[in-house]
Structure 1
Protein backbone atom coordinates (compact mmCIF):
# COMPACT_ATOMS: atom_id res chain seq x y z
CA UNK A 1 0.00 0.00 0.00
CA UNK A 2 1.32 3.43 -0.89
CA UNK A 3 1.56 5.26 2.41
CA UNK A 4 1.25 8.91 1.43
CA UNK A 5 1.50 11.46 4.19
CA UNK A 6 -1.78 12.75 5.60
CA UNK A 7 -2.94 16.15 4.37
CA UNK A 8 -5.65 18.71 5.07
CA UNK A 9 -8.03 20.05 2.45
CA UNK A 10 -10.78 22.67 2.50
CA UNK A 11 -14.27 21.27 1.84
CA UNK A 12 -17.45 23.25 1.10
CA UNK A 13 -20.17 20.95 2.42
CA UNK A 14 -22.87 22.79 0.50
CA UNK A 15 -21.21 21.33 -2.61
CA UNK A 16 -19.67 18.16 -1.13
CA UNK A 17 -22.58 16.63 0.79
CA UNK A 18 -25.34 14.96 -1.20
CA UNK A 19 -28.02 17.07 0.51
CA UNK A 20 -26.11 20.30 -0.35
CA UNK A 21 -26.14 21.75 3.17
CA UNK A 22 -23.21 22.78 5.37
CA UNK A 23 -20.37 25.23 5.79
CA UNK A 24 -16.73 25.36 4.69
CA UNK A 25 -14.42 23.28 6.89
CA UNK A 26 -10.95 21.78 7.02
CA UNK A 27 -10.98 18.01 6.47
CA UNK A 28 -8.10 15.65 7.24
CA UNK A 29 -7.23 13.22 4.43
CA UNK A 30 -5.96 10.00 6.04
CA UNK A 31 -3.43 7.95 4.06
CA UNK A 32 -1.91 5.83 6.81
CA UNK A 33 -3.19 3.65 9.63
CA UNK A 34 -3.38 5.42 12.94
CA UNK A 35 -5.43 6.57 15.90
CA UNK A 36 -7.75 9.36 14.80
CA UNK A 37 -10.25 9.17 17.65
CA UNK A 38 -10.73 12.96 17.61
CA UNK A 39 -12.01 12.85 14.03
CA UNK A 40 -15.31 11.84 12.44
CA UNK A 41 -14.96 9.95 9.13
CA UNK A 42 -17.43 11.28 6.57
CA UNK A 43 -16.71 9.38 3.34
CA UNK A 44 -18.44 11.00 0.37
CA UNK A 45 -21.04 12.79 2.51
CA UNK A 46 -23.99 10.83 1.13
CA UNK A 47 -26.04 10.33 4.30
CA UNK A 48 -24.97 13.36 6.31
CA UNK A 49 -26.74 16.50 7.47
CA UNK A 50 -24.12 18.88 8.87
CA UNK A 51 -24.83 22.21 10.52
CA UNK A 52 -22.75 25.13 9.19
CA UNK A 53 -21.98 25.81 12.88
CA UNK A 54 -20.74 22.28 13.63
CA UNK A 55 -17.30 22.32 15.25
CA UNK A 56 -16.58 18.60 14.95
CA UNK A 57 -13.30 17.62 13.25
CA UNK A 58 -13.90 15.66 10.05
CA UNK A 59 -11.71 13.29 8.06
CA UNK A 60 -11.85 11.14 4.94
CA UNK A 61 -9.78 8.17 3.85
CA UNK A 62 -7.36 9.00 1.03
CA UNK A 63 -6.14 7.14 -2.05
CA UNK A 64 -4.02 4.71 0.00
CA UNK A 65 -7.30 3.01 0.94
CA UNK A 66 -8.77 2.91 -2.57
CA UNK A 67 -8.00 -0.61 -3.82
CA UNK A 68 -9.50 -4.02 -4.61
CA UNK A 69 -7.57 -7.31 -4.52
CA UNK A 70 -8.37 -11.02 -4.46
CA UNK A 71 -6.53 -13.54 -2.33
CA UNK A 72 -7.48 -17.08 -1.23
CA UNK A 73 -11.06 -16.70 -2.48
CA UNK A 74 -11.53 -13.54 -0.43
CA UNK A 75 -12.00 -10.01 -1.77
CA UNK A 76 -10.05 -7.28 0.07
CA UNK A 77 -11.43 -3.78 -0.51
CA UNK A 78 -10.05 -0.53 0.87
CA UNK A 79 -12.69 1.61 2.50
CA UNK A 80 -12.04 4.65 0.30
CA UNK A 81 -13.19 2.56 -2.66
CA UNK A 82 -16.46 3.78 -4.19
CA UNK A 83 -19.50 1.54 -4.49
CA UNK A 84 -19.46 2.06 -8.25
CA UNK A 85 -15.85 0.91 -8.58
CA UNK A 86 -16.56 -2.22 -6.53
CA UNK A 87 -19.69 -3.01 -8.57
CA UNK A 88 -17.73 -2.65 -11.82
CA UNK A 89 -15.03 -4.98 -10.47
CA UNK A 90 -17.63 -7.55 -9.42
CA UNK A 91 -19.24 -7.44 -12.85
CA UNK A 92 -15.94 -7.77 -14.74
CA UNK A 93 -14.72 -10.61 -12.52
CA UNK A 94 -18.03 -12.50 -12.30
CA UNK A 95 -18.46 -12.04 -8.53
CA UNK A 96 -21.98 -12.57 -7.19
CA UNK A 97 -23.97 -10.87 -4.42
CA UNK A 98 -22.74 -7.29 -4.86
CA UNK A 99 -25.33 -6.39 -7.49
CA UNK A 100 -27.29 -4.42 -4.85
CA UNK A 101 -24.56 -1.75 -5.00
CA UNK A 102 -26.08 -0.51 -8.28
CA UNK A 103 -26.90 3.21 -7.86
CA UNK A 104 -26.09 3.02 -4.13
CA UNK A 105 -23.77 6.02 -3.64
CA UNK A 106 -20.88 6.21 -1.22
CA UNK A 107 -17.51 4.78 -0.27
CA UNK A 108 -17.20 1.31 1.17
CA UNK A 109 -16.34 2.54 4.68
CA UNK A 110 -19.62 4.42 5.01
CA UNK A 111 -21.62 1.56 3.49
CA UNK A 112 -20.14 -0.89 6.00
CA UNK A 113 -20.51 1.50 8.94
CA UNK A 114 -24.27 1.88 8.35
CA UNK A 115 -24.80 -1.66 6.99
CA UNK A 116 -26.20 -0.08 3.85
CA UNK A 117 -28.41 -1.81 1.33
CA UNK A 118 -31.88 -1.93 -0.11
CA UNK A 119 -34.77 -3.62 1.70
CA UNK A 120 -33.55 -7.11 2.76
CA UNK A 121 -30.23 -6.83 0.90
CA UNK A 122 -27.50 -5.39 3.08
CA UNK A 123 -23.75 -5.34 2.91
CA UNK A 124 -23.17 -7.43 6.05
CA UNK A 125 -24.87 -10.39 4.35
CA UNK A 126 -21.66 -10.83 2.36
CA UNK A 127 -18.87 -9.55 4.59
CA UNK A 128 -16.26 -11.95 5.94
CA UNK A 129 -14.37 -9.51 8.21
CA UNK A 130 -13.16 -5.94 8.58
CA UNK A 131 -9.78 -4.38 9.33
CA UNK A 132 -9.21 -1.69 11.95
CA UNK A 133 -5.88 -0.05 12.79
CA UNK A 134 -5.05 -2.92 15.15
CA UNK A 135 -6.58 -6.12 13.75
CA UNK A 136 -8.91 -8.03 11.49
CA UNK A 137 -12.28 -8.74 13.10
CA UNK A 138 -14.51 -11.56 11.86
CA UNK A 139 -18.16 -10.80 11.12
CA UNK A 140 -19.32 -13.15 13.90
CA UNK A 141 -17.49 -10.95 16.43
CA UNK A 142 -19.12 -7.71 15.23
CA UNK A 143 -22.31 -6.12 16.54
CA UNK A 144 -24.49 -5.19 13.55
CA UNK A 145 -28.17 -4.95 12.71
CA UNK A 146 -30.49 -3.28 10.20
CA UNK A 147 -28.78 -0.07 9.00
CA UNK A 148 -26.50 -0.07 12.04
CA UNK A 149 -23.14 -1.28 13.30
CA UNK A 150 -21.55 -0.79 16.69
CA UNK A 151 -17.99 -0.25 15.47
CA UNK A 152 -16.17 2.58 17.24
CA UNK A 153 -12.88 2.54 15.36
CA UNK A 154 -12.19 3.52 11.75
CA UNK A 155 -12.79 0.71 9.25
CA UNK A 156 -9.88 0.70 6.81
CA UNK A 157 -10.69 -2.43 4.81
CA UNK A 158 -13.63 -4.78 4.27
CA UNK A 159 -13.16 -8.41 3.28
CA UNK A 160 -15.87 -10.28 1.37
CA UNK A 161 -16.48 -13.95 0.70
CA UNK A 162 -16.20 -14.55 -3.03
CA UNK A 163 -19.01 -16.37 -4.79
CA UNK A 164 -18.97 -16.53 -8.58
CA UNK A 165 -21.90 -15.70 -10.83
CA UNK A 166 -22.62 -11.98 -11.26
CA UNK A 167 -26.27 -11.45 -12.27
CA UNK A 168 -26.97 -8.66 -14.76
CA UNK A 169 -30.70 -9.28 -14.15
CA UNK A 170 -30.29 -8.59 -10.41
CA UNK A 171 -28.28 -5.46 -11.11
CA UNK A 172 -30.96 -4.18 -13.49
CA UNK A 173 -33.64 -4.88 -10.89
CA UNK A 174 -31.79 -2.84 -8.26
CA UNK A 175 -31.39 0.00 -10.75
CA UNK A 176 -35.15 -0.05 -11.41
CA UNK A 177 -35.92 -0.03 -7.68
CA UNK A 178 -33.69 2.99 -7.13
CA UNK A 179 -35.03 4.81 -10.17
CA UNK A 180 -38.27 5.12 -8.19
CA UNK A 181 -36.42 7.34 -5.72
CA UNK A 182 -36.08 11.14 -6.10
CA UNK A 183 -33.22 12.25 -8.34
CA UNK A 184 -32.70 15.50 -6.40
CA UNK A 185 -30.23 16.57 -3.73
CA UNK A 186 -30.94 14.51 -0.61
CA UNK A 187 -29.16 12.41 2.01
CA UNK A 188 -30.95 9.23 0.93
CA UNK A 189 -33.58 7.68 3.16
CA UNK A 190 -34.35 10.09 5.97
CA UNK A 191 -35.66 7.52 8.48
CA UNK A 192 -35.05 3.83 9.05
CA UNK A 193 -38.04 1.63 8.31
CA UNK A 194 -39.73 0.61 11.58
CA UNK A 195 -40.12 -3.13 12.03
CA UNK A 196 -42.98 -4.38 9.86
CA UNK A 197 -43.67 -0.99 8.28
CA UNK A 198 -42.22 1.66 5.99
CA UNK A 199 -41.18 5.16 7.02
CA UNK A 200 -42.38 6.56 3.70
CA UNK A 201 -45.87 5.14 4.25
CA UNK A 202 -46.06 6.63 7.73
CA UNK A 203 -44.88 10.07 6.59
CA UNK A 204 -47.42 10.04 3.77
CA UNK A 205 -50.17 8.88 6.13
CA UNK A 206 -49.68 11.91 8.40
CA UNK A 207 -49.91 14.26 5.42
CA UNK A 208 -46.26 15.19 4.99
CA UNK A 209 -45.56 13.75 1.53
CA UNK A 210 -44.74 16.80 -0.60
CA UNK A 211 -44.75 19.04 2.50
CA UNK A 212 -42.23 21.85 2.06
CA UNK A 213 -40.59 24.42 4.31
CA UNK A 214 -38.37 26.86 2.46
CA UNK A 215 -36.42 24.78 -0.06
CA UNK A 216 -36.62 21.55 1.97
CA UNK A 217 -39.36 19.03 1.26
CA UNK A 218 -40.46 15.48 2.01
CA UNK A 219 -40.40 14.42 -1.62
CA UNK A 220 -43.66 14.00 -3.51
CA UNK A 221 -41.91 11.10 -5.32
CA UNK A 222 -41.00 9.17 -2.14
CA UNK A 223 -42.00 10.61 1.23
CA UNK A 224 -38.97 9.20 3.10
CA UNK A 225 -36.58 11.34 1.07
CA UNK A 226 -35.90 14.81 2.45
CA UNK A 227 -34.91 16.76 -0.66
CA UNK A 228 -33.26 20.13 -1.17
CA UNK A 229 -34.71 22.18 -4.02
CA UNK A 230 -31.64 24.44 -4.05
CA UNK A 231 -31.12 26.67 -1.05
CA UNK A 232 -32.45 24.48 1.76
CA UNK A 233 -31.05 25.16 5.22
CA UNK A 234 -30.01 22.96 8.12
CA UNK A 235 -32.70 24.53 10.33
CA UNK A 236 -35.47 23.82 7.82
CA UNK A 237 -34.29 20.22 7.44
CA UNK A 238 -34.28 19.71 11.23
CA UNK A 239 -37.73 21.28 11.51
CA UNK A 240 -39.17 18.80 9.00
CA UNK A 241 -37.43 15.83 10.61
CA UNK A 242 -38.80 16.74 14.04
CA UNK A 243 -42.26 17.43 12.61
CA UNK A 244 -42.40 13.96 11.05
CA UNK A 245 -41.28 12.36 14.31
CA UNK A 246 -43.98 14.17 16.32
CA UNK A 247 -46.80 13.48 13.86
CA UNK A 248 -45.96 9.78 13.40
CA UNK A 249 -45.60 9.30 17.15
CA UNK A 250 -48.96 10.96 17.77
CA UNK A 251 -50.81 9.10 15.00
CA UNK A 252 -49.22 5.64 15.20
CA UNK A 253 -47.25 5.61 18.49
CA UNK A 254 -44.13 4.76 16.46
CA UNK A 255 -40.78 6.41 17.17
CA UNK A 256 -39.12 7.21 13.85
CA UNK A 257 -35.35 6.82 13.96
CA UNK A 258 -33.23 8.83 11.54
CA UNK A 259 -31.12 7.02 8.99
CA UNK A 260 -29.52 10.36 8.10
CA UNK A 261 -26.55 11.10 10.38
CA UNK A 262 -26.88 14.58 11.88
CA UNK A 263 -24.01 16.74 13.17
CA UNK A 264 -25.22 19.92 14.86
Structure 2
Protein backbone atom coordinates (compact mmCIF):
# COMPACT_ATOMS: atom_id res chain seq x y z
CA UNK A 1 0.00 0.00 0.00
CA UNK A 2 1.07 3.54 -0.70
CA UNK A 3 -0.13 6.95 0.42
CA UNK A 4 -1.00 10.04 -1.58
CA UNK A 5 -0.95 13.55 -0.14
CA UNK A 6 -4.19 15.28 -1.13
CA UNK A 7 -5.17 18.88 -0.47
CA UNK A 8 -8.96 18.71 -0.49
CA UNK A 9 -9.26 22.49 -0.68
CA UNK A 10 -7.97 22.02 -4.25
CA UNK A 11 -8.91 18.39 -5.03
CA UNK A 12 -12.58 18.30 -3.97
CA UNK A 13 -15.20 19.85 -6.23
CA UNK A 14 -16.44 22.15 -3.46
CA UNK A 15 -12.84 23.19 -2.58
CA UNK A 16 -13.11 22.49 1.15
CA UNK A 17 -10.98 20.24 3.32
CA UNK A 18 -7.53 19.64 4.77
CA UNK A 19 -4.29 18.45 3.20
CA UNK A 20 -3.86 14.87 4.44
CA UNK A 21 -2.36 11.52 3.46
CA UNK A 22 -4.82 9.14 1.78
CA UNK A 23 -4.13 5.41 1.50
CA UNK A 24 -4.10 4.15 -2.10
CA UNK A 25 -5.36 0.61 -2.68
CA UNK A 26 -4.14 -1.42 -5.64
CA UNK A 27 -4.92 -5.01 -6.65
CA UNK A 28 -3.76 -7.43 -3.99
CA UNK A 29 -4.14 -4.96 -1.13
CA UNK A 30 -6.58 -5.80 1.66
CA UNK A 31 -8.76 -2.81 2.62
CA UNK A 32 -8.20 -1.97 6.29
CA UNK A 33 -11.14 -1.37 8.56
CA UNK A 34 -11.80 2.11 9.91
CA UNK A 35 -10.97 4.00 6.72
CA UNK A 36 -13.51 5.93 4.64
CA UNK A 37 -13.36 5.29 0.89
CA UNK A 38 -13.34 8.30 -1.41
CA UNK A 39 -13.34 8.65 -5.18
CA UNK A 40 -12.67 11.99 -6.85
CA UNK A 41 -14.43 13.89 -4.04
CA UNK A 42 -17.12 15.32 -6.30
CA UNK A 43 -20.01 14.83 -3.89
CA UNK A 44 -18.10 15.03 -0.62
CA UNK A 45 -18.01 17.69 2.08
CA UNK A 46 -14.92 16.94 4.15
CA UNK A 47 -14.25 18.43 7.58
CA UNK A 48 -10.89 19.58 8.88
CA UNK A 49 -10.73 16.43 11.03
CA UNK A 50 -12.02 13.55 8.88
CA UNK A 51 -11.58 9.85 9.65
CA UNK A 52 -8.64 8.06 7.97
CA UNK A 53 -9.26 7.95 4.22
CA UNK A 54 -8.46 5.57 1.38
CA UNK A 55 -8.98 5.51 -2.38
CA UNK A 56 -8.59 3.05 -5.26
CA UNK A 57 -5.50 3.38 -7.43
CA UNK A 58 -4.73 2.99 -11.13
CA UNK A 59 -5.10 -0.81 -11.05
CA UNK A 60 -8.86 -0.22 -10.98
CA UNK A 61 -8.91 2.27 -13.86
CA UNK A 62 -9.91 0.26 -16.96
CA UNK A 63 -12.77 -0.42 -19.34
CA UNK A 64 -13.22 -3.31 -21.73
CA UNK A 65 -15.78 -5.24 -23.76
CA UNK A 66 -16.04 -8.85 -22.61
CA UNK A 67 -18.50 -10.99 -24.59
CA UNK A 68 -21.89 -9.26 -24.15
CA UNK A 69 -20.87 -7.01 -21.27
CA UNK A 70 -19.02 -3.78 -20.64
CA UNK A 71 -16.60 -4.25 -17.73
CA UNK A 72 -15.37 -1.13 -15.92
CA UNK A 73 -12.96 -0.66 -13.02
CA UNK A 74 -14.28 1.36 -10.11
CA UNK A 75 -11.65 4.11 -10.30
CA UNK A 76 -12.34 4.76 -14.00
CA UNK A 77 -13.27 8.44 -14.56
CA UNK A 78 -16.66 9.16 -16.12
CA UNK A 79 -14.95 11.09 -18.92
CA UNK A 80 -13.05 7.96 -19.93
CA UNK A 81 -16.27 5.92 -19.88
CA UNK A 82 -18.00 8.44 -22.12
CA UNK A 83 -15.10 8.56 -24.60
CA UNK A 84 -14.95 4.75 -24.79
CA UNK A 85 -18.70 4.51 -25.44
CA UNK A 86 -18.55 7.15 -28.15
CA UNK A 87 -15.62 5.42 -29.86
CA UNK A 88 -17.23 1.96 -29.75
CA UNK A 89 -20.82 3.13 -30.40
CA UNK A 90 -22.15 1.89 -27.06
CA UNK A 91 -25.41 3.28 -25.69
CA UNK A 92 -26.76 3.62 -22.17
CA UNK A 93 -23.97 5.78 -20.76
CA UNK A 94 -24.79 9.10 -22.40
CA UNK A 95 -25.86 10.47 -19.02
CA UNK A 96 -22.30 10.36 -17.64
CA UNK A 97 -21.59 13.41 -19.81
CA UNK A 98 -23.34 15.29 -17.03
CA UNK A 99 -21.65 13.53 -14.09
CA UNK A 100 -18.10 14.13 -12.85
CA UNK A 101 -16.20 11.57 -10.78
CA UNK A 102 -15.49 7.84 -11.08
CA UNK A 103 -17.55 4.70 -11.51
CA UNK A 104 -17.13 3.79 -7.84
CA UNK A 105 -18.85 6.96 -6.72
CA UNK A 106 -21.60 6.47 -9.28
CA UNK A 107 -22.24 2.95 -7.97
CA UNK A 108 -22.19 3.99 -4.33
CA UNK A 109 -25.02 6.49 -4.80
CA UNK A 110 -26.72 5.09 -7.90
CA UNK A 111 -25.89 8.40 -9.54
CA UNK A 112 -27.93 9.62 -12.45
CA UNK A 113 -29.50 12.45 -14.40
CA UNK A 114 -33.24 12.80 -14.88
CA UNK A 115 -34.55 9.28 -15.63
CA UNK A 116 -31.09 7.75 -16.19
CA UNK A 117 -29.40 5.90 -13.29
CA UNK A 118 -26.22 3.86 -12.90
CA UNK A 119 -28.10 0.69 -11.93
CA UNK A 120 -30.28 0.76 -15.06
CA UNK A 121 -27.87 -1.33 -17.15
CA UNK A 122 -25.91 -2.89 -14.28
CA UNK A 123 -25.38 -6.66 -14.33
CA UNK A 124 -23.21 -7.12 -11.28
CA UNK A 125 -20.42 -5.80 -9.06
CA UNK A 126 -17.14 -7.23 -7.80
CA UNK A 127 -16.22 -6.06 -4.30
CA UNK A 128 -13.66 -7.00 -1.69
CA UNK A 129 -16.27 -9.54 -0.48
CA UNK A 130 -16.91 -11.27 -3.79
CA UNK A 131 -19.21 -11.08 -6.82
CA UNK A 132 -22.80 -9.87 -6.52
CA UNK A 133 -25.61 -9.65 -9.04
CA UNK A 134 -27.60 -6.44 -9.35
CA UNK A 135 -30.61 -8.19 -7.83
CA UNK A 136 -28.64 -8.89 -4.66
CA UNK A 137 -27.85 -5.21 -4.05
CA UNK A 138 -30.53 -3.01 -2.42
CA UNK A 139 -30.73 0.22 -4.38
CA UNK A 140 -33.03 3.05 -5.34
CA UNK A 141 -33.12 6.78 -5.98
CA UNK A 142 -29.62 8.04 -5.20
CA UNK A 143 -28.61 5.19 -2.94
CA UNK A 144 -27.09 1.73 -3.13
CA UNK A 145 -26.13 -0.60 -0.30
CA UNK A 146 -22.99 -2.03 -1.85
CA UNK A 147 -21.70 -5.21 -0.18
CA UNK A 148 -18.20 -3.94 0.50
CA UNK A 149 -15.81 -1.83 -1.56
CA UNK A 150 -16.63 -1.91 -5.27
CA UNK A 151 -13.65 -2.90 -7.44
CA UNK A 152 -15.39 -3.51 -10.76
CA UNK A 153 -18.83 -3.55 -12.37
CA UNK A 154 -20.27 -5.17 -15.47
CA UNK A 155 -23.06 -3.67 -17.57
CA UNK A 156 -25.32 -4.81 -20.39
CA UNK A 157 -23.76 -4.06 -23.75
CA UNK A 158 -26.12 -1.93 -25.81
CA UNK A 159 -25.09 -0.79 -29.27
CA UNK A 160 -25.88 2.71 -30.50
CA UNK A 161 -24.47 5.82 -28.78
CA UNK A 162 -27.08 8.62 -28.75
CA UNK A 163 -25.11 11.81 -29.38
CA UNK A 164 -28.23 13.97 -29.26
CA UNK A 165 -29.07 12.68 -25.78
CA UNK A 166 -25.51 13.26 -24.56
CA UNK A 167 -25.55 16.82 -25.91
CA UNK A 168 -28.96 17.48 -24.32
CA UNK A 169 -27.72 16.29 -20.94
CA UNK A 170 -24.55 18.36 -21.19
CA UNK A 171 -26.75 21.39 -21.96
CA UNK A 172 -28.32 20.99 -18.52
CA UNK A 173 -25.05 22.29 -17.06
CA UNK A 174 -25.99 25.73 -18.33
CA UNK A 175 -28.55 25.82 -15.52
CA UNK A 176 -26.01 24.92 -12.82
CA UNK A 177 -23.69 27.30 -10.96
CA UNK A 178 -20.10 27.64 -12.10
CA UNK A 179 -18.72 28.24 -8.62
CA UNK A 180 -17.17 25.28 -6.78
CA UNK A 181 -19.87 22.99 -5.38
CA UNK A 182 -20.55 19.36 -4.55
CA UNK A 183 -23.56 19.16 -6.86
CA UNK A 184 -27.06 18.77 -5.49
CA UNK A 185 -26.95 18.85 -1.70
CA UNK A 186 -30.32 17.21 -1.06
CA UNK A 187 -32.27 14.47 -2.80
CA UNK A 188 -35.53 15.56 -4.36
CA UNK A 189 -38.40 14.52 -2.08
CA UNK A 190 -41.21 12.51 -3.70
CA UNK A 191 -43.25 14.67 -6.06
CA UNK A 192 -41.23 17.81 -5.44
CA UNK A 193 -37.81 19.44 -5.85
CA UNK A 194 -35.38 20.28 -3.07
CA UNK A 195 -34.31 23.43 -4.90
CA UNK A 196 -37.88 24.72 -5.06
CA UNK A 197 -38.41 24.11 -1.34
CA UNK A 198 -35.17 25.88 -0.40
CA UNK A 199 -36.05 28.81 -2.64
CA UNK A 200 -39.60 29.04 -1.24
CA UNK A 201 -38.10 28.99 2.26
CA UNK A 202 -36.29 32.22 1.34
CA UNK A 203 -32.78 30.80 1.23
CA UNK A 204 -31.86 31.13 -2.44
CA UNK A 205 -28.68 33.21 -2.45
CA UNK A 206 -28.48 33.14 1.35
CA UNK A 207 -24.88 33.38 2.51
CA UNK A 208 -22.93 32.48 5.62
CA UNK A 209 -19.28 33.45 5.43
CA UNK A 210 -17.97 32.48 2.00
CA UNK A 211 -20.59 29.75 1.46
CA UNK A 212 -24.01 30.34 -0.07
CA UNK A 213 -27.08 28.67 -1.56
CA UNK A 214 -26.64 29.45 -5.25
CA UNK A 215 -28.72 32.19 -6.86
CA UNK A 216 -28.83 30.04 -10.01
CA UNK A 217 -30.00 26.77 -8.42
CA UNK A 218 -31.06 26.79 -4.77
CA UNK A 219 -30.06 23.15 -4.13
CA UNK A 220 -26.42 23.88 -4.93
CA UNK A 221 -24.20 24.98 -2.07
CA UNK A 222 -21.42 27.08 -3.60
CA UNK A 223 -18.02 28.17 -2.36
CA UNK A 224 -17.50 31.86 -3.11
CA UNK A 225 -13.82 31.67 -2.18
CA UNK A 226 -12.26 30.28 0.99
CA UNK A 227 -15.48 28.77 2.29
CA UNK A 228 -15.36 26.58 5.40
CA UNK A 229 -16.87 23.25 6.43
CA UNK A 230 -18.54 24.92 9.41
CA UNK A 231 -20.29 27.54 7.27
CA UNK A 232 -21.41 24.87 4.79
CA UNK A 233 -22.88 22.79 7.61
CA UNK A 234 -24.61 25.85 9.05
CA UNK A 235 -26.37 26.45 5.72
CA UNK A 236 -27.33 22.79 5.38
CA UNK A 237 -28.80 22.73 8.89
CA UNK A 238 -30.63 26.02 8.26
CA UNK A 239 -32.21 24.72 5.05
CA UNK A 240 -33.37 21.55 6.76
CA UNK A 241 -34.95 23.49 9.64
CA UNK A 242 -36.65 26.07 7.41
CA UNK A 243 -38.06 23.53 4.96
CA UNK A 244 -39.33 21.31 7.76
CA UNK A 245 -40.95 24.24 9.58
CA UNK A 246 -42.58 25.69 6.46
CA UNK A 247 -43.50 22.56 4.50
CA UNK A 248 -43.19 19.62 6.90
CA UNK A 249 -40.71 17.99 4.50
CA UNK A 250 -37.54 16.37 5.82
CA UNK A 251 -34.71 16.88 3.34
CA UNK A 252 -32.33 13.94 2.88
CA UNK A 253 -28.70 14.50 1.93
CA UNK A 254 -27.43 13.54 -1.49
CA UNK A 255 -23.88 14.65 -0.76
CA UNK A 256 -21.71 12.71 1.70
CA UNK A 257 -20.46 14.50 4.81
CA UNK A 258 -17.10 13.13 5.96
CA UNK A 259 -16.44 13.99 9.58
CA UNK A 260 -15.37 12.13 12.71
TM-score range (shorter-chain normalised) is over 0.9
Question: What's 1:71 paired with?
Answer: 66
| CA offsets 1:63-85 (integer angstroms, 9 cap, x no match) | 00000111111011000100000
Structure 2 unmatched ranges of 5 or more: none
Question: What's 1:252 paired with?
Answer: 247
Secondary structure of the corresponding residue to residue 149 of structure 2: coil
Question: What's 1:45 paired with?
Answer: 41
| CA offsets 1:71-121 (integer angstroms, 9 cap, x no match) | 111011000100000011011101011000003100100111010011221
Query: Which of 154, 173, 186 is equivalent to 2:168?
Result: 173
Alpha-carbon offset, residue 152 of structure 1: 4.4
**Contact kept? 2:98, 2:113, Cα under 8 Å:** no
How far, CA to CA, are the matches of 2:32 and 2:69 in structure 1?
28
Alpha-carbon offset, residue 158 of structure 1: 1.1
How far, CA to CA, are the matches of 2:183 and 2:248 in structure 1?
24
Secondary structure of the corresponding residue to residue 131 of structure 1: strand
Query: Which of 7, 10, 34 is equivalent to 2:5?
Result: 10
Question: What's 2:75 paired with?
Answer: 80
Residue 130 (str. 1) matches residue 162 (str. 2): no
Question: What's 1:229 paired with?
Answer: 224
Question: What's 1:28 paired with?
Answer: 23
Query: Which of 145, 148, 153 is equivalent to 1:153?
Result: 148
TM value normalised by structure 2 = 0.97
How far, CA to CA, are the matches of 1:35 and 1:237 in structure 2?
31
| CA offsets 1:210-232 (integer angstroms, 9 cap, x no match) | 11111101000100000001111
How far, CA to CA, are the matches of 1:239 and 1:119 in structure 2?
29
TM value normalised by structure 1 = 0.95
| CA offsets 1:179-229 (integer angstroms, 9 cap, x no match) | 211111000101000011000000000011111111101000100000001
Question: What's 1:106 paired with?
Answer: 101
Secondary structure of the corresponding residue to residue 125 of structure 2: strand
Structure 1 unmatched ranges of 5 or more: 1-5
**Contact kept? 2:91, 2:162, Cα under 8 Å:** yes
Query: Which of 192, 196, 203 is equivalent to 1:197?
Result: 192
**Contact kept? 2:129, 2:148, Cα under 8 Å:** no
Alpha-carbon offset, residue 134 of structure 1: 3.4
Question: What's 2:139 paired with?
Answer: 144
**Contact kept? 1:84, 1:103, Cα under 8 Å:** no
**Contact kept? 2:45, 2:182, Cα under 8 Å:** yes
Question: What is the Cα-based RMSD across aligned positions, in Å?
Answer: 1.0
**Contact kept? 1:37, 1:153, Cα under 8 Å:** no
Residue 97 (str. 1) matches residue 95 (str. 2): no
Alpha-carbon offset, residue 38 of structure 1: 2.2
